[in-house]
Chain A
Amino acid sequence: MLSFAVESNGGAVDLQTLILSLSRYWADAGCVVQQPYDLEIGAGTMHPETFLRVLGPEPYRVAYVQPSRRPADARYGSNPFRLGRHLQMQVILKPSPDDVQRLYLASLEAIGIDPAVHDIRFEEDNWESPTLGAWGVGWQVLLDGMEITQFTYFQQAGGIDLNPVAAELTYGLERITMFLQRRNSIYDIDWGVGVAYGAVRLDDEREASVYGFEVADVEMLRRHLEDWEREAGRCLEHDPPLVIPALEATLKTSHLFNLMDARGAVSVTERVGLIGRIRRNAIRVAKAYVAQREQHGFPLRGAFEEAG
């Protein structure tokens, strides 16, 4: 039986302190602190504060937590290392500052990781999202052998070459907490105030697994995917195009696809076709966004000058 309370974590940072400290740190570094997007999405990258803000000439700096849903990664709550929904801390710095590595390392100090007594390495790991028409190059950051952050210089999003280039930092929050607290299960980490992660999350991990792998109505998902795909098209064809509604409709199709995929309902050939359809809409949204910002005179040009 899982107990409600956790053992003392020996002074290591807990999950909510991690979130608060990173938010504070990046706010001080000149970031807008945003909130999670209120849709089911697979990664912080899909949040418009990343996917759209990295496009076009305007600078931007933002930090936020994003619950990220990956139905196929769920394990009925029985695997101590894997979750169907986890928390990412997402930071976008556009353009990428010259001292972005130093800024990042200082963020680790802000959560109690002193580089002087740890081994921190940047090992090549490139990133690509076929559904978003996006890719970048960068590293996984290893702390004493543990992957704690994905660090990416975005090169392209929505099929558009990015100029300026944004740096994206994605902290895996549960992993970092687990590592710092030396827990052997995610469910045993201290969320904060002595409450265990499992006490908060275990039931919904179990239920989401049952739903995603056994219960989800594939025909319904397929129908909704088609509906939302059409809706994205309607928003884009509206005059003027409705950028955010079109993106939201596209993000829904992406999540519906992930659910169908987890359920084993996507055949080989269908898979390539569906990803292509989602990407086409993502690319259209990206173009519409840049056009809209241009029409508005790129209002954020000149912002964030003080930052860093």
Chain B
Amino acid sequence: MATFLLELLTEEIPANGLPGARRQLAEAIGKGLEAAGLGGAAVRALSTSRRLVVVAEGLPERQPDRTERVTGPPASVAYGKDGAPTKAAEGFARKVGLLLDQLEIDSTPKGDYLAATVLLPGRPTAEILAELVPAAVAGLRFPKMMRWGRGEHSFVRPLHRVTALLGAEVVPFELFGVGSGRTTEGHRVHAPTPFELASADSYAGEMERRFVAVDPGERSRAFTTAAARLVAEVDCRVHPDDELMAEHVELVEYPGLLLGGFDEAFLGLPREVVITTLRHHQKCLVLERMDGSLAPFFLAVVDRRDDPEGLVRQGNEWVIGARLADARFFFDEDRTRPLDELVPGLQRLEFHRRLGSVADKAGRVGELAAAIAGQIGSPLPAAELARAAGLVKADLLTGMVVEFTELQGVMGGHYLRLAGEPEALWTAARDHYLPLGFEGEIPASDIGRLLGVADRLDTLAGLFGVGELPSGSRDPHGLRRAGQALVKIVAEAGWELDLEAASRRAVELVADRIDGDPAAAAAAVSEFLAERVRRYLIDVVGVAFDTADAVMAAGWAKLPELVARARSLEAARSADAFRWLALGFKRVRNITDGQPDGSVEEAAFQQPEEGELHRHTGQFGERLDECLAARRFDDAFAAMAELADVLERFFVEVLVMTEDEATRRNRIALLKELGAQFMRLADLSKLQIEGGNG
């Protein structure tokens, strides 16, 4: 058994391409080995900022031998009438390397054929690898590929060395014009002298001695340990940032971490500004005091193990100081003009080629927000919402947000607060982009909620109207998240807003800019929102998918009511009565679907169970009137459960599809009457009940 080592030494590979490259490499090599009968080896793909590495342990020296059945010419051609072998038989024997009398005859549906079993000796593993590896590497896909030099090859970055060893032997092949060998080199600063690897197994140790940590997992652990040690020195903790830490791991060969400080005066800047400045430009982690306030320290990733003259720390501190001073410059300059003055400039900022500028959008959002306010009985005046709709976008034109787009909203909030605007307005600016999908809190103020909902509804209406719908995994405008956030705000703000009507209003407001039938666009937006509502019930409220389907079938567009109804059904459905009711209701639907409407004639009742069902349905309807008015859905479903016995008796005693047409029609009408009352709460036939085939 031997170990295979592949190392590709390249120029620095973009961090975002490395995790995918490791997955692809491990998979391609693993599958290739398995296909060659060399499965069972432990294949691991590793990497640093300038190396892709594969280690496969436990490989045999050769493939196992195999036998193969080879079919030759038809027997009728291979032998003459006298039974003597012809030239064709001799040729086949030569081809398979056997004597004539070692050949056999296989009978097939097409006739008899000459055949032979040949032994295929396993090929050396090195040979297999020499074919497999270049194909696997050439098949790697990165987010962005490039050419270099004479432009003959395409890869993520130029390739400089290929080290390929099976045990102690070089596996010979060529990649992008570079021949494989046993020479590699260590860390660019600490151990740059090329050296020869004696064997694949010595790789890990040799690299470690040369300050290259090839395993990303090991680098990640080293960062965590180093961070814990460094923050303890200043009695702080790391402001958590998993995404950044995952990126750090990919940026280096040696996991170096450095603690630096900056002038405490910069802590007077808004917290988000300090964090973003350090993160965005410098990829530095910010430190917090134990009480959660920011501390004037940072952790910077460095690709070296030491800082012999202190220059690395000094340099990083200087840059951080300069970046923060630059941010402070923006912060001070932005505040010299009130945001109101920036609003007209939104005309120069494009929202969408077809849907106009951000100013156009803000105009529509203001109007839509006022319409929604009217529907939910909010006292906010239309003029106030119209001003707010422009004002919350004005920070897009501030120096800070032009520099750090991710601070949109946050800066508007700070600037409006510092300008003495009311809390409901400045929190609206801060919050109206929130939540992100279903994650996080909804905006604090009604203005923020109204603008948040109107903004997203306008986006959906416009983009659906110009045909830019999400499809499959492609959702470049983040419409699914926008829809989720909208649903979450409406549900959690407890608004009695009819989402179908609101979608129609949103499409009307953008109608002059879209193609096709506005009614169709509005229907598409509604359908899209209905799917988000369904996900909300399942993922956030936590009901079963069929509970969601059942209650939505009885009306979905008013969310607070829908959520309460879904919760009540979810609680009620586990009772035995509901198990039976679901089956019974399926039966009701099977019988009545597609049947004409008719009225129930009490005089035509033939059996007491008909009268009983009619009476109970009437009583149930009256109780529903009360319960629905008072939002007592638990009581409503309890009343529904009480019908289980009555319905069961009815089905046992009464034959609906009887010969007599008048009786049959009356019984169908009776069931329809019941169905109509049930459908005020939920379509129980959507519930998946075990053993239930109606």
Contact = CB atoms under 8 A, between A and B. Distances in A.
B315 interface: yes
A230 to B, nearest CB: 27
A234 to B, nearest CB: 32
B12 A121 contact: yes
Nearest to B356: A268
Interface residues of A, number: 45
B319 A145 contact: yes
Contacts of A136: 146
Given A80-B325, A267-B347, A163 B147 contact: yes
B160 A164 contact: no
Interface stretch (A1-9, A110-118, A248-256): A110-118
Contacts of A167: 148
Contacts of A123: 12, 15, 251, 283
Contacts of A97: 149
B234 interface: no
Nearest to B302: A119
Interface in B340-368: 345, 347-350, 353, 357
A122 to B, nearest CB: 4
B148 A96 contact: yes
A298 to B, nearest CB: 15
Given A146-B315, A268-B349, A184 B322 contact: yes
A260 B144 CA distance: 34
A201 to B, nearest CB: 18
Interface string B98-118: 000000000000000000000
B304 A79 contact: no
Interface in A36-64: none
Contacts of A115: 188-189
Interface string B281-310: 011100000000000000010111001110
A15 B146 CA distance: 34
B351 to A, nearest CB: 9
A115 B309 CA distance: 12
Best-buried of B11, B148, B158 by chain A (most CB within 10 Å): B148
Contacts of B15: 123-124
Contacts of A292: none
A145 B300 contact: yes
B349 A165 contact: no
B326 A79 contact: yes
B195 interface: no
A11 to B, nearest CB: 13
Contact of B151 (A119, A163, A179): A163
Contacts, number: 124
A139 B256 CA distance: 20
Contacts of B21: none
Nearest to A137: B146
Interface string A69-105: 0000000001111100000000000011110010000
Contacts of A122: 11-12, 49
Contacts of A126: 144
A123 B303 CA distance: 12
Contacts of B16: 124
B35 interface: no
A195 interface: no
Contacts of A108: none
A124 B315 contact: no
Interface in A239-283: 264, 266-269, 271-272
A97 B283 CA distance: 30
Contact of B309 (A117, A153, A264): A117
A81 B311 contact: no
Interface in B614-665: none
B326 A164 contact: no
B416 interface: no
Contacts of A116: 189, 308
B146 A264 contact: no
Interface string A111-149: 000011111111110100000000011010001111000
A238 interface: no
A119 to B, nearest CB: 4
Given A95-B150, A117-B309, A121-B12, A146 B189 contact: no
Nearest to A267: B348
A108 to B, nearest CB: 12
A216 interface: no
Contact of B348 (A81, A143, A264): A264
A216 to B, nearest CB: 16
Interface of B: 11-12, 14-16, 49, 144, 146-151, 158, 160, 188-189, 251-252, 256, 282-284, 300, 302-304, 307-309, 311-312, 314-316, 318-322, 325-326, 329, 345, 347-350, 353, 357
24 contacts: A79-B329, A80-B326, A80-B329, A81-B329, A98-B160, A115-B189, A117-B312, A119-B304, A119-B312, A123-B15, A124-B16, A126-B144, A137-B144, A144-B315, A144-B319, A145-B284, A153-B148, A163-B150, A164-B151, A165-B146, A182-B314, A184-B321, A267-B348, A268-B349
A-B interface, 7 closest residue pairs, ranked by CB to CB distance from nearest = A144-B315, A124-B14, A268-B350, A163-B151, A122-B12, A145-B316, A119-B302
